[in-house]
A = this chain, B = another copy of it.
């Protein structure tokens, strides 16, 4: 691992996630009365462990469905911003870290597509993306996971940080 990335990883206290294409493979199951998403249980374990280990976790998504919040709050993520339009992701992020008195450098953000681009490009977060992110997002990422969205990309970045900080597999 390159030494610059290692140094950045050591500062992370907070994970902020996009949802579609990150927690999922970017698909939506669309029926008459409901839209479903396909989450990954192994991502879920990593989130639960990270929460128990004291990391702060938040979600900023353009998704509208309450089921996103139901799933993610069940894993221990309570700062969940939904229905956030492309042009609102950066301001929502800025308000959040300001209220929590966080430095940009202590935040890992993982996104995959256009709505995440500006936030990832114009802040000092550790910008991460899944293996199957769009080219534009890959080109501005500090770390491109070898794992695609919905197949463990969330787990991969959580393990990456926790291993760099010597915290993975310590509490179980």
Measured CB to CB, the residues of A under 8 A from B are 20-21, 26-42, 44-45, 49, 65-68, 70-71, 86, 112-115, 117-118, 134, 136, 150, 169, 172
In terms of DSSP, what is the predominant structure of the interface of chain A?
mixed
In the complex, the answer to whether B41 meets A28 with C-beta atoms within 8 Å is yes
Residue of B nearest to A66 (CB): B32
Query: Smallest distance from the beta carbon of A90 to chain B beta carbons, Å?
Result: 12
Tell me the bound Cα distance from A114 to B155 in angstroms: 12
Q: Which of B20, B39, B45 contacts A28 (CB 8 A)?
A: B39
Residue of B nearest to A48 (CB): B86
Q: A66-B32, A70-B30, A150-B27 are in contact. Are A172 and B38 (CB under 8 A)?
A: no
Sample of 11 further A-B pairs with CB below 8 A, known A30-B68, A45-B113: A28-B38, A30-B37, A30-B67, A31-B35, A31-B67, A32-B33, A32-B67, A33-B34, A42-B112, A42-B113, A42-B134
In the complex, the answer to whether A172 meets B26 with C-beta atoms within 8 Å is no
In the complex, the answer to whether B45 meets A27 with C-beta atoms within 8 Å is no
Tell me the bound Cα distance from A49 to B65 in angstroms: 22
Query: Smallest distance from the beta carbon of A160 to chain B beta carbons, Å?
Result: 14
Q: Which of B34, B39, B172 contacts A117 (CB 8 A)?
A: B172
